[in-house]
Amino acid sequence: MKIRLKIDTQWIQLEEKSMDRIRKSYESWESETLRKARDAKDLRGLREIFYQLGDRWEWDQATGAWLSSGEPLDAVGLILSMPGLDDGKERYVIYTVMAYSKGLTQKFDHLGDKERVIVEIDKKTGDMICWSTTGHGAMDLFPTSLNAFKDFQDVLNSCDLVAQPGDHALRLEIPKGKREFPYLIEILWEMAVGRRDFIHKEIDLLTNSDIENNLDFNFHRYTKAVIRLERAWKDLKQNLLESAKEAVVDEITPKIEKQNKQSLRIIEGLLHILWFRPPASQLKSVKKALETLSNVSHPTSVEQTLVECLGELSVALNDVLERAEYLKWKSVIDKKGYSEADVFQNLALSELAKEALAVALDDILREHTLSYIGYPERATIKKKIMRILFGTAVLPLRLLSTFWERLKLRFPFQKSTDTSETSNSDTEMHIDESTDEFSS
Q: Which of 321, 323, 322, 236 is nearest to 271 (CA)?
A: 236
Q: Which of 368, 268, 281, 354 is nearest to 321 (CA)?
A: 281
Q: Which of 117, 166, 45, 141 is nearest to 374 (CA)?
A: 117
Instruction: Give the mean pLDDT of 169-182.
Output: 76
pLDDT in tens, 344-383: 887 777 787 888 888 889 999 999 999 999 998 887 777 7
What proportion of the chain, given as a percentage, has pLDDT over 70? 78
Residues 50 and 165 in one domain: yes
Domain residue limits at 277: 227-321
pLDDT of residue 430: 44
Domain shared by 51 and 197, yes or no: yes
Residues 11-16 have a mean pLDDT of: 77
Q: Do residue 211 and residue 231 come from a single domain? A: no
Residue 139 counted as domain residue: yes
Which DSSP string do the residues of 199-260 spell out, in sequence order?
Answer: EEEEEEEE-HHIIIIIS---HHHHHHHHHHHHHHHHHHHHHHHHHHHTHHHHT--HHHHHHH
The verdict on residue 375 lying in a domain is: yes
Q: Is residue 195 part of a domain?
A: yes
R_g of the chain computed on alpha carbons = 27
Tell me the pLDDT band of 73, cut-offs 50, 70 and 90: confident
Furthest C-alpha separation in the chain: 107
Residues 259 and 312 in one domain: yes
Angle between helices 301-333 and 254-276 (to 10 degrees): 20
pLDDT attached to residue 387: 64
Q: Residue 348 falls within a domain, yes or no?
A: no
Higher pLDDT, 47 or 81: 81
- Classify each residue of 396-432 as buried b or exposed e, where b means 16 or more C-beta atoms within 10 Å of its C-beta: eebbeebeeeeeeeeeeeeeebeeeeeeeeeeeebee
Q: How many CB atoms lie within 10 A of CB 38?
A: 7
User: Which of the pair, 163 or 105, is modelled with greater confidence?
Assistant: 163
- 403/407 Cα distance (integer angstroms): 6
Last residue of a domain, one of 300, 321, 342: 321
Half-sphere CA count of 108, side-chain side, radius 13 A: 22
How many domains are there within the chain?
A: 2
Both 63 and 189 in one domain: the answer is yes
The confidence score (pLDDT) of residue 158 equals: 93
Sheet of strand 133-135, all strands in order from the earlier edge strand to the far edge:
138-139, 133-135, 169-173, 160-164, 2-8, 198-206, 75-83, 89-98, 113-122, 128-131, 144-145
In a domain, 389, yes or no: no
Q: 74 or 250: which carries more pLDDT confidence? A: 74
DSSP assignment of 43-72: HHHHHHHHHHH-TTHHHHHHHHHHHHHS-T
Residue 165 CA to residue 104 CA, distance in Å, equals 11
| Contact residues for 233 (Cβ-Cβ < 8 A; gap 6+) | 264, 267, 268, 271, 306
> What proportions of the chain, in percent to the nearest 5, are helix, strand and coil?
60, 15, 25
pLDDT at 249 over 80: no
Confidence of residue 311 (pLDDT cuts 50, 70, 90): very high
If asked whether residues 92 and 159 sit together in one domain, one would say: yes
Examine the domain organization and report whether 37 and 150 are in the same domain.
yes
> What is the overall mean pLDDT for the chain?
81
Are 193 and 66 contained in the same domain? Answer: yes
427: left (phi > 0), else alpha (psi -120 to 50), else beta? alpha
Residues 233, 180 share a domain: no
Q: Tell me: pLDDT of 91 over 60.
A: yes
Examine residue 148 and state whether it is found in any structural domain, yes or no: yes
Pairing of strands 89-98, 133-135: unpaired
pLDDT at 409: 59
pLDDT at position 189, please?
A: 56
Cα-flanking dihedrals φ and ψ of residue 83, to 5°? -70, 155
* Cα 299–Cα 85–Cα 226 angle in degrees, nearest 5: 40
Spell out the residues 6+ positions from residue 401 whose beta carbon is closer than 8 angstroms to its own: 192
Judged by average pLDDT, the poorest of 6-15, 263-272, 280-289, 372-381 is 6-15
Q: Binning pLDDT at 50, 70 and 90, where does residue 52 land? A: confident
280-297 pLDDT per residue, tens: 999 999 999 999 999 998
Is residue 245, in this structure, part of any structural domain at all? yes
> For residue 30, which amino acid is it?
E
Residue 402, in any domain of the structure: no
Instruction: Return the SS3 of 114.
Output: strand
DSSP character at residue 403: H
Please tell me which of 32-36, 101-105, 244-248 the model is most confident about, judged by mean pLDDT. 32-36
pLDDT classification of 431: cutoffs 50, 70, 90? very low
**Range of 52-56, 89-93, 253-257, 411-415 with top mean pLDDT:** 89-93
Between CA 369 and CA 277 the distance in angstroms is 5
Do residue 185 and residue 258 come from a single domain?
Answer: no
Look at residues 381, 411, 429 and tell me which one is the last residue of a structural domain. 381
pLDDT at 322: 96
**What 3-state class would DSSP assign to 141?**
coil
> What integer pLDDT is reported at residue 50 of this predicted model?
82
pLDDT-derived band at 428 (thresholds 50, 70, 90) equals very low
pLDDT above 60: residue 233:
yes
pLDDT of residue 157: 94
More confident residue, 386 or 349: 349
Asked if 121 and 128 count as a contact pair (C-beta separation under 8 A), the reply is yes
**Same structural domain, 238 and 104:** no
* Whether residues 145 and 18 fall in one domain: yes
**Contact status, residue 135 vs residue 390, Cβ threshold 8 Å:** yes
Q: Is beta strand 198-206 parallel, antiparallel or unpaired with respect to 75-83?
A: parallel
Peptide bond into 182 cis (omega under 30): yes
Q: In the predicted model, what is the mean pLDDT of residues 196-215?
A: 87
Distance CA 115, CA 95 (A): 6
